Chains A and B, each alone.
Chain A
């Protein structure tokens, strides 16, 4: 059950990264900041005895606010500079939050007494479904087309009259909203955070990125498959190999990037194409 909730969080996060990184082609290395921001706000709103569903939405909106304040300036940067800028901003957030909350952040004991995994599961499931629905709707609309155009050739898109900055802003805001929701679900799952900087650590950017790329960037089902793959395999390997499974993931990731840029999804559809071609020729 715990694993399933984690899986949902991963799906949300990787879809969030997929929107900005997979569809729009802007490699965002600051996802952890939005995740952490959503987590913190949800935590404190929930602590103020507001129902968790509202608290999670508040977390998502807070992440959007953060994106407006810090994310918009970085969108002026292009390519690798955007990646470096967002990475630096996430580090700034981590340092500032680490200084603000030097002690343990936790819920009062009454929350822990009636702790139950079932509502966590449903919240995760609902948010994950909403996320996938949002990504589906966005990518099947004019906005999605513009985003893909920016990814494929930003200058050409600009020349043909796409307001590239506007659509990049849309992508960033939606992506950070989803990341904030994921943070909210995680805040609901875990009541106490021993060291709050851990939720701002780059791991929360890198693992979803990995899931997206392994599954297939710029597709709807790719991140889902990647997340399932990553979470399930890490659970299996954690028992037998310990930390060594991360080495295997790293190698797999490198191979996917170098030899199958469209991830698992891409290779499956390519195999299917080959099969059908074989079928036709005989």
Chain B
């Protein structure tokens, strides 16, 4: 019985991280229909920024999150100006998705190798005084960094929810999502909305990177596996359904943790991915189908 509780606890902790990983990808896809394949690579980049702050000035990773957010936000603005805004001229949404996929795919190549040159191909992690410590509640162990990640994920998701549903800027984003042309006719500066949303999306990737570097480890070419997880969670949540991303991440985390009990550690990712493909084929609109409120 204890092992079941422990599995559930692990699943929730890792699942919250999975949700956090997918948030930026889901935002970019939901608002602008840009599929950012380099999302995983930006996560790693955020992790490295935090790694630098910790190594050079000894700043705790969870404290460094605001700095990482600002740095990554500006990277996102540059990314939008250079790579994404020319794609808005493409005639159809399908072409926009495909072309953005190819452009960001080239970006992986560039960023991966720049990061390899800057930080060497070694695997990096941040070891603080509390890394590896656990908190025991009723015989179930929670790792401190994992709990920190859960807290960050929930906090970020809440902030995003409040911004999207309670502020004017969020209203603009939702309007631009539903119909960019109509929104710009109503006096919304769609270009600016897009600019800031891609900044936010890349900043979210950075936050996920900070949590990953303090919980697990990163290396320069490790972005692809995180990208896959982000994809899976985004599809499970349903395209453009940002509020459901964290719950979808938890579902995926539980699925992965549960399959450890059934088939053992080596196949856990394979099983989770197979379940994902089955969902994709039979319920492509996602497990958390869109409701009237969602953006």
Contacts and interface: CB of A to CB of B under 8 A. Distances in A.
A73 B281 contact: yes
Interface residues of A, number: 37
Contacts of B87: 258
Contact of A254 (B35, B103, B116): B103
Interface in A237-273: 243-244, 246-247, 249-254, 257-258, 261
B185 interface: no
Interface string B253-291: 000000000000011011001101100110010000000
Contact of A244 (B105, B106, B107, B113): B113
A27 B277 CA distance: 17
A76 interface: yes
B77 to A, nearest CB: 18
A268 B201 CA distance: 38
A92 interface: yes
Contacts of A254: 83, 103, 106-107, 110
Interface string A126-145: 00000000000000000000
Given A73-B277, A250-B108, A96 B270 contact: yes
Contacts of B281: 73-74, 76-77, 85
B103 A88 contact: no
A31 to B, nearest CB: 13
A88 B273 contact: yes
Q: Is the interface of B mostly helix, strand, loop or mixed?
A: helix
Contacts of B273: 88-89, 91-92, 95
Interface string A62-84: 00000000000110110111011
A76 B269 CA distance: 23
A28 B35 CA distance: 15
B277 A89 contact: yes
B139 interface: no
Interface in B67-111: 83, 86-87, 94, 97-99, 101-103, 105-111
Contacts of A87: 228, 231
A91 B281 CA distance: 17
A80 B239 CA distance: 11
B128 to A, nearest CB: 31
A80 B224 contact: no
Interface residues of B, number: 40
Given A85-B280, A254-B106, A79 B113 contact: no
Contact of A80 (B101, B103, B106): B101
A83 B277 CA distance: 12
Contacts of B292: none
A79 B29 CA distance: 14
Interface string B218-235: 000000110010011001
Interface in B15-39: 35
A249 B109 contact: yes
B270 A79 contact: no
Contacts of A249: 109
A257 B86 CA distance: 11
Contacts of B105: 206, 209, 253
Contacts of B112: 246
Given A84-B235, A88-B273, A243 B117 contact: yes
Given A88-B228, A95-B269, A209-B105, A251 B274 contact: no
Given A27-B98, A74-B281, A81-B235, A88 B276 contact: yes
**Which of B87, B103, B110 gathers most chain A CB within 10 Å?**
B110
B224 to A, nearest CB: 6
- Top-7 shortest CB links A-B: A250-B109, A250-B110, A253-B106, A254-B106, A99-B266, A95-B270, A257-B102
Interface of A: 27, 73-74, 76-77, 79-81, 83-85, 87-89, 91-92, 95-96, 99, 202, 206, 209-210, 213, 243-244, 246-247, 249-254, 257-258, 261
5 contacts: A88-B273, A244-B113, A247-B110, A258-B86, A258-B103
